[in-house]
A and B are shown apart, each in its own frame.
Chain A
Amino acid sequence: MSVGTTPPTTAGTEPGRVATAAVAVPVGSRRWEFMYFALRNKKLVLGLGIEVVFVLAAIFGPLVAPYSAAKFVAQPNLHPSLKHLLGTTYFGEDVFSQVLFALRDSYLVGFLGAACAALIGLVIGFTAGWRGGVVDEVLQMFTNIVVMMPALVLLIVIGAYLKQHSAFFEGCFIGVTTWPWVARAVRAQTFTLRSRDFVDLSRMSGKRGPSIVIKDIAPNMASYLFLVFVLLFGSSMLIAVSYDFLGLGPTNSISLGDMMFNSQQWSALVLHVWWWFIPPGAVMTLMVAALLIANVGLDEVFNPKLREM
């Protein structure tokens, strides 16, 4: 199991709760209250803190990287030293610089995967939950079928036939195979919301379905959807590592999974060149763990029942 398979716990809470609270408390103080609990939540602060460091490294890393990522810059397989912070590869490339260059791709794939999965999952989940009846049955059946397609295996089979891959392509691929649990969760939430009074009111005032879903239902699930997006982001990055590790990743750039793939190809394990494969994976683990921790923190901020007593 990976991130994203256990939906955030807000699944069980009443999605309308946030909205009712908003009526009782003026908007300004509610925002302040949110900030108060957000800053007090150690998990959120820690997770976000770590993530910010990596995002900054992804943005500015390639500008300040000491060496170019794919050039022979020193002797092969050098131990980490001050000159080469994480040593060099079998090809004399600087591992530290490679990691800095690879971060952008990981975030790009994570974002694309999450965006595609969220988009498809939202459309299918809202449609199924809102329309109900036969449409719901058919969409649920379709979702259940896609769930059973082993995503990575499918990616491998498709990838094995394609000669060219890009990070863009990879991200979209991942999104297209990971949306089902989003669709399921969104459908369930839409079901509980569609019979609420405020939705009935909109319906009676002659609003059309899509507009009710976007203006009345979606905002009430906003916090939940945000958590879902964070989880999707992390799981997409992790799936991409596995994919890259099989040599099926982007062919035109370097990624963290690529580095592990190359290290495996050139027997870094047996040669004890640990600095070639441990750092890229450790960086990825920290990036995703920070997202997960921030996610649980956010969950606690959004959902008072979960806060520490």
Chain B
Amino acid sequence: MKRYFARKILTYVLAFWFGATIDWVIPRLIPGDPVQAYLQRFSVQGAGSPGTWQALYKVYSKAFGLNVPLWDQYWHFWDGLLHGNMGVSLYEFPAPVTRIVWDAAPYTLALLVPAIVLSYVLGNRVGAMAARRKALDDTVLPVAYLFQASPYPWLALALAFYLGEVAHWFPISGGYAEGLVPGANWTFIWSAVQHWVLPFFTVFLVSFGGWAIGMRSLVIYELETDYARYLRSLGASQRLVRRYAYRNAVLPQLSGLALALGTVIGGNIVTEIVFGYPGLGHLIYQAINAQDYFLLQGIFLFIIIGVCLANFVIDIVYVLVDPRTRLSMQGAPA
């Protein structure tokens, strides 16, 4: 048990280090001088004598910590990171990046967590039901294929257009009605829920299709295995056989969940942008447009931490649902 989790935790730590380092390296690999570019953007260049320009250049190099050797910069980066300091955002100057990310995170989590969990649970159920049942297979599966194959931005636009613009069932922009202040009152919560529905369904439906299709194939395969045949030949009910098949088929799906996280998060970002939903995805979009690299770095790191945590949870669940992992950890032969 210890060995298993020690190895897992080492993976998470390395993943975080790897991600953070990529995050640090990328802006430095890009040709060009960031401070110069930054000053040029505010057209400081022509503002005064060459002396002013030099002085400003020095001040900003120091402010961004770019006046020291690379190795020191890397060290400062980690030092700040571990103290929860990601620098100051250019887009919402002078708010610290950590606070901006922290404010946007609840919206993203409110979309992602229910979408991932519900699509996984329901998709697996429906997929398992459809396996070897002609009527369900012919009706549910084609729909699942279409959902799985839809690009996130398109499904988002289609839902926004038909259910929002044409039918006026749901608002299509923002995280709550304009003029409201986020807080724990019913007006705000009701408004937030209404704005949540369409982006949630976009992320949910695409994932749902994928899980249903995957589960259908897995259950069909399990139903043809020797243990399932043996059970049937013993006269076990169809329901019992299916239950065992389902339990076995869930395992690869669970590994699939860990693999799918990155894609779902990506889809969520695009969806938020379509709906102007004030989460991290929307923030990324703002950061790209404002060329706010500090903010981009901060969001990326936050997402890496989230993915590491989610993987940890999936690992624990895997141990709980698969007796073999548990046994092999206690030293019994697998």
Q: Which residues of A contact B261 (CB under 8 A)?
A: 148, 150
The reply to whether A241 and B151 form a contact with Cβ atoms under 8 Å apart is yes
Least distance between A258 CB and chain B CB atoms (Å): 11
Tell which of A74-82, A198-206, A285-293 binds the partner.
A285-293
- Give how many B residues have a beta carbon under 8 Å from the other chain's beta carbons: 76
Known contacts A147-B259, A296-B213, A306-B217: does B172 contact A269 (CB below 8 Å)? yes
What are the residues of chain B within 8 A of A274 when measuring CB–CB?
A: 161
Chain A at the B interface: mostly helix, strand, loop or mixed?
helix
Main secondary structure of the interface of B (DSSP, over half): helix
CA gap between A303 and B287 in the complex, in Å? 48
Which of chain A's residues 266-296 have a Cβ closer than 8 Å to chain B? 269-270, 272, 274, 277-278, 280-282, 284-289, 291-293, 296
Q: Which residues of A contact B211 (CB under 8 A)?
A: 1, 6
Q: What distance in Å separates the Cβ of B266 from its nearest Cβ neighbour in chain A? A: 3
A62 at the interface (CB under 8 A from B): no
Q: Are B220 and A157 in contact (CB under 8 A)?
A: no
Q: Cα distance A162–B10 when bound, in Å?
A: 33
Please tell me if A207 contacts chain B, counting CB pairs below 8 Å. Answer: no
User: What 0/1 pattern do residues 182 to 220 of B give for CB contact below 8 A with A?
Assistant: 000000000000000000000000110011011001101
Most A CB within 10 A of own CB, among B265, B287, B288: B288
Of listed B30, B153, B270, residue having the most chain A CB within 10 A = B153
Q: How far is the CB of A287 from chain B (nearest CB, A)?
A: 8
- Closest residue of chain A to B296, judged by CB? A157
The answer to whether A149 and B19 have CB atoms under 8 Å apart is yes
New contact pairs (14) apart from A12-B221, A263-B157, CB-CB < 8 Å: A1-B148, A2-B263, A147-B258, A147-B262, A148-B19, A148-B308, A149-B307, A160-B288, A162-B30, A245-B270, A248-B288, A270-B165, A274-B161, A306-B221
A-B contact pairs, 20 of them (CB 8 A): A1-B148, A3-B210, A6-B256, A144-B11, A145-B14, A147-B259, A152-B270, A153-B266, A156-B284, A157-B26, A160-B291, A184-B259, A239-B263, A241-B154, A242-B266, A242-B270, A248-B288, A264-B274, A285-B154, A306-B224
Binding site for A on B (CB under 8 A): 10-12, 14-15, 18-19, 22-23, 26-27, 29-30, 119, 132, 145-146, 148-155, 157-158, 160-161, 165-166, 172, 206-207, 210-211, 213-214, 217-218, 220-221, 224, 252-253, 256-267, 269-270, 273-274, 284-285, 287-288, 291, 293, 296-297, 299-300, 303-304, 307-308, 311
